[in-house]
Amino acid sequence: MSFFQLRGEQVRHAHGLRGSAALHYLTQQEQPTILVTADVKRIHATANALRSLNPQARVFELPPLEGSAFAFTPVHPLTRRTRLACFDALLTNRWDMIVTHPRVFLETLASRDALAKPRLSLQSGDRYDLPQLCRTLAEMGYLANDLVSQPGDFSRRGGMLDIYSSVDERAWRLDFWDDELEEIREFDPATQRSMHVVDSVEILPMFEWHVTPREAAVFARKGGELWNQSEARKQFLSLVAELRDRGRFSGFLHWTALFFEHPHHFLDLVEQPALLFVDDHEAVQEQCEQYLTQLTTQADALGQNQLQTPLRTLFHQSDIKQIDLPEHVTAVIHHTLGLTEVQDEFLTQSVPQYKSDVRRFIDHWKQQAKRLAVVIVAQNTGALKHLEEQLEHEGFFVKTCDLPIRTELAPGFYAAKGALPTGFQWPDRKLVVIAGPDIWSKIKAARKPAGGKRVFQAEFRDLKVGDLVVHEEHGIGKFIGLLEMEVGGGRHEMMALTYKGDQKLYVSLNQLHLVQRFSSADNQVQLDKLGGTAWVKTKGRVRKALREMAGELVKLYAQRKLVTRTPYGADTEWQGSFEDAFEHELTSGQFNAVNEIKADLESPRPMDRLLVGDVGFGKTEVAMRTAFKCVMEGFQVAVLCPTTVLAFQHYHTFKNRFGNFPVAVNWISRFSSSKHIKKALTDLADGKVDLIIGTHRLLSKDIKFKNLGAVIIDEEQRFGVAHKERLKQMRKQVDVLSMSATPIPRTLNMSLSGIRDISVIETPPRNRLAISTNVVESRDGLIRNAIDFELARGGQVFFIHNRVETMDTMVAGLRELMPHLRISAAHGQMDPKRIEHQMLQFMQRETDVLVASTIIENGVDIPNANTMIINRADMFGMSQLYQLRGRIGRSDRPAFAYLLVPPRARMSNQARQRLAALEEFSDLGSGFRIAARDMELRGAGNLLGANQAGHINAIGYDLFVKMLEEAVAELSGHEIEDKVSCLVNLNFGAAVPKKYIEETNQRLHYYKKFAAAESDTEIDELQQTMVDCYGPCPAEVAQLMAEHKLRLFLSRKRVLHVERERDKLQLRFHETAKVRGDLVMNWIQKKKALSLSPEGVLKLALPSRDPGDVLGYIKDVSEELIASGTA
């Protein structure tokens, strides 16, 4: 029997819709439509195309659940959010189009009632039980946190409730007065600042349905009937226990059929008349057959001690090969082969592919446009504008076309902005639609990024007791908490630090600008001794080294200014065509980098620029535009890579991108034959090769260029000393662009501005998706099914096994578990040529699984590998896991990371603690932020060299950058002001009280921000953020802000310290403060001042007990007593 047969009288068969004609056909329908596509990877792109063709339509995506019940595959966060949005639209009849996959029709869904709740519809002005709202959010799968930072978080602070919605990824702040919801504001989780007010908001749950006690009981009964063997029952009972403890287990949605007496089918949710359109029915049938065969194989492979079950228990219909069609749903089954008798025959055609040959495109259509409407639909507005100009030059005026096209257009050229995968010709309707990729290049449609890259700062929000900190004056200590102490006649919270020999230091929270989280790549750090000389010597040694390094950089920069060459000309028409061939808009980071590089090339000084950005952030596109501009100027370009693997990757990328342009690209490597190398080098010397890619072999003396103009260096820090020296010489002769895949801290980039040209791409790639990270106990079944799932969707798998001595055993075990697997292996003790060979095999898709240690190369981009299994993840550090996990999730398909751990009973206490940290390993969790920070430190070390990396480890990153800025400023001839930071201690109760902000880390965060503020505006903005997050500030916070504003004023006056002791005030001046001594003596005589000591301490009588009066008095006295400037 054929699969996916629709049963019902209202089914029509059709043929002949080619290209995107089927999508255009659907936009012409008056009723809601459901499009079934055979390719799960095309769901998003198809939905985007429908949105482009009909911008007013409410288009939703309904992807199938990944994996299977037998694999207990967790649902990817993106899949979960997308499905939730679609189900909500179905339940409320607020949809026009749905793009889905045939597997969805085989899934069992929860009952309509279960899918419809719980959810929250909140309206400002209404009354709510706030504690009950929090309980409902917890039932919906939301997690309570001090601060919301990722979808699924909520936080209650008194009458303020923050919710980060799981579906639309928007954060909402609910402001209550008693039980009345006064105001709803959307806010930015990165800044915690409100953006705008809305009247109402709807919060959807984290999962499609919530397991209530009733559903859990049904599961226990049905499962108890299915699994009565002892071993299988043991696994089943563990799931029941997990349901009881957590309310769900991994992959529970796959087992929906066992939770409900009367489960539903997808079409049961479609209540209104609708059209079901099945595109390429033959491919849809094949997909169903493959999926059911795969499920059967997985079920048969399970042992008696595992949860076997007949497939019919997982599906709603008794005959899973046929789909019953409700009476109110009509269907059109579209066939591509034309072998079936059809009722509707469409005479459409596909359009030619022009491969960036715009001239050929114009010649092809300029005559036909006199009798047909030719509509060009493209995403890239720059490319579209360029094409319009060329058509206008040919005498054709390009009109703007509104989508959808529902009326016949007059002949001529039309332009519309949108994302179509391909176009179509519909002769009967005198319509031709041409998509951007038809004209330029076949670039995948991309997802809109969720947001810009967050800046990872060493804030105190993630500071825990026991963490290392560095005090600028006392060195490295350990944070042991906040303590309330009696100081100067008042009680104050102090930061308690412990040093070597259990010495204690108590730091005023007004001086937190002197304390930083200790950030270093070195795990072996010794605490300093209070009052010792070691810290002073360490700072002196680092300061000296930094002066030497900064001096070298300043000298090099000055020398480069003396070298000149003929500037490059403005972009050619070829350059425009090459850049137009990139179908997407550049990200803001790429755009800025390209402009900075072009400015370098068009100046008379040779370029020496560093381009920094994570793998997949688009550095290569920037490099290719750079190379193309150089070639158009008549120069040759060399691309240098540290390994053959990277060279291989770049060669194929450059070759494909330059394929439609008159640029000769070649490469040489250790895998090239001697004959190939000889010819390539001869061609290079003769100028027949424009762009050559290779390893350090290109630096050999026998390499001759006819006219080398630019060198692009990938991962320069990985080249040897001799090679770097050769590159140093090249910098004096040609333009150089270096690229690094390890991010660097933004502050380091800023501190080097003026002596090192750096472009940083911080914008994430448009198709980067979140990685579903799952901590699971190691089981053969899970490993097999995770690999099967990835291979079934045409992907590859990284298997990380970090014990070299047992890697062969692991590979043999995988082969025994899955005999059909093609496996390669790589570890650091292999011969480098062997490693490269194994990596190249994997990159060329000759193997399915790469079993590797942690040597997976930083910089290698393998978009086809989107599952990673990390064996014994409990033995890895958080930074290692962060770096490893970054090897996947580089394409437009969801990625999965499985962190395998042994049963908890067999783990040490330390390993259990590490596991607890891993379970919080989310994209915006504290572990992620710290790991990302560690990666940036590695980037800083790579950029500055091994010696400076050691200095960062010695004093911590933040102090290192501060000292570097001072050294650079001094050697660049800028005057360095000896800044004064006044300490204000007036004992007026200035504080961030616990009753206002309960969480210690949040209080520390604000104390630190206030102490670091350098303007009244910053303090005012902090106040606005606090009011936004926590409500009106109490008197203690208002006093704290007033004292910090006084601190800024007194610091400018060079007052070191102001203190109140009972009825007296003391002001201590810096030795450079211009104190009017004559006025002081006059005051003493008139009893206005009590005394002025030789050390510069002025004593004054307290004018009042009112805090406002005292602060005003101190400001007036200082204004009158101290002239501007320094002595």
Instruction: Give the CATH number, domain containing residue 666.
Output: 3.40.50.300
Q: What CATH number is associated with residue 427?
A: 3.40.50.11140
So what's the pLDDT on residue 1086?
75
Residues 41 and 126 in one domain: no
pLDDT digits (tens, 9 = 90+) for 299-342: 776 655 567 666 667 765 545 567 778 889 999 999 887 666 78
What confidence score (pLDDT) does residue 961 get?
A: 78
CA distance 488 to 56: 67
Strands 771-777 and 895-901: parallel
The model's confidence at residue 597, banded by pLDDT at 50, 70 and 90, is: very high
Q: Mean pLDDT in the chain?
A: 84
Q: Are residue 707 and residue 564 in the same domain, yes or no?
A: yes
Question: Which residue is listed with tokens 């066992």?
Answer: 258
Name the domain boundary from 439, 457, 485: 439
- Specify whether 576 is located in the same domain as 640: yes
Q: Is 115 exposed, middle or buried (0-12, 13-18, 19+ CB in 10 A)?
A: buried
Q: What is the pLDDT of residues 243-254, one digit of tens each?
A: 887 788 878 888
The reported pTM is 0.70
**Domain contains 606:** yes
Number of domains in the chain: 6
Picking from 760, 795, 819, the residue at the C-terminal end of a domain is: 760
- Local structure of residue 704 (DSSP, 8 states): -
Q: Which amino acid is at 774?
A: N
**Once rounded to an integer, what is the mean pLDDT over residues 990-1006?**
87
CATH of residue 192: 3.30.2060.10
Decide if 386 is inside a domain: yes
Q: The CATH number of the domain where 1046 resides is what?
A: 3.90.1150.50
In whole angstroms, give the CA distance from residue 341 to residue 493. Answer: 83
399-400 and 412-417 beta bridge pairing? parallel
Inter-residue contact 413 to 64 (CB < 8 Å): no
- Separation between Cα atoms, residue 862 and residue 891, nearest integer Å: 9
Boundary (domain end) residue, out of 180, 203, 226: 203
Q: Which are the contacts of 45, defined by CB distance < 8 A and separation ≥ 6?
A: 419, 421, 444, 445, 892
Backbone φ/ψ region at 996: left (φ over 0), alpha (ψ -120 to 50), beta: alpha
Q: Looking at the structure, do residues 689 and 779 belong to the same domain, yes or no?
A: no
- What distances in angstroms separate CA 155 from CA 136, 160, 163, 1033, one per listed residue? 13, 8, 7, 18
**What radius of gyration do the chain's Cα atoms show?**
33
Looking at the structure, tell me whether residues 856 and 708 fall in a common domain: no
571: exposed, middle or buried (C-beta count within 10 Å: 0-12, 13-18, 19+)? middle
- DSSP-based three-state secondary structure for 17: coil
Integer Cα distance of 164 and 75 in angstroms: 19
The half-sphere exposure of 152 on its side-chain side, counting CA atoms within 13 A, is 14
Amino acid 885: pLDDT: 82
* pLDDT at residue 494 greater than cutoff 60: yes
Beta sheet of 329-335, edge-to-edge order: 59-62, 97-100, 33-36, 274-278, 329-335, 11-15, 344-345
Within a domain: 329: yes
Residue 163 within a domain: yes
Q: Report if residue 870 sits inside a domain.
A: yes
Residues 729, 790 share a domain: no
Residues 108, 123 share a domain: no
Q: Are residues 753 and 777 in the same domain?
A: no
Same domain, 617 and 738: yes
- pLDDT tens-digit series, residues 121-172: 999 999 999 999 999 998 888 888 888 888 889 999 889 999 999 887 789 9
With beta carbons less than 8 A apart as the criterion, state whether 754 and 972 touch: yes
pLDDT at 902 over 70: yes
In this structure, are 100 and 162 located in the same domain? no
Residue 478 located in a structural domain: no
For residue 26, what are its two tokens? 């659907």
| Average pLDDT over every residue of 551-578 | 83
Highest average pLDDT, of 372-381, 480-489, 947-956, 1013-1022, comes from: 1013-1022
Mean pLDDT throughout 924-938? Answer: 52
Query: Whole-angstrom Cα distance, residue 199 to residue 204?
Result: 17
Is the per-residue pLDDT at 859 higher than 60?
Answer: no
Residue 381, token pair as written in the block: 């507005």
Say if residue 733's pLDDT is above 80.
Answer: no
Both tokens of 868, joined, read 């990673």
Q: Is residue 481 part of a domain?
A: no
pLDDT at position 925: 46
**Do residue 275 and residue 130 come from a single domain?**
no
pLDDT at 754: 64
pLDDT tens column, 607-647: 988 898 876 788 999 999 999 999 999 999 999 998 888 88
Mean pLDDT of the 170-175 span: 93
Over the stretch 742-801, which tens digit does the pLDDT of each residue have? Answer: 666 665 666 566 667 888 887 766 656 667 778 888 888 788 888 988 888 889 999 999
User: Residue written as tokens 């490469």?
Assistant: 667
- Answer whether residue 112 shows pLDDT above 50: yes
- Neighbouring CB atoms inside 10 A of 366's CB total 15
pLDDT of residue 446: 41
Beta bridge partners of 610: 738, 758
Same domain, yes or no, for 606 and 620?
Answer: yes
Q: Containing domain of residue 87, as a range?
A: 5-114+258-345
- For residue 32, whether the previous peptide bond is cis, meaning omega lies within 30 degrees of 0, is no
Task: Spell out the long-range contacts of 135-142 with Cβ–Cβ below 8 A and sequence spacing 24 or more.
Answer: 137/163, 137/203, 139/210, 139/247, 140/203, 140/204, 140/205, 140/206, 140/210, 141/166, 141/205, 141/206, 141/207, 141/210, 141/247, 141/248, 142/166, 142/206
588 within domain boundaries: yes
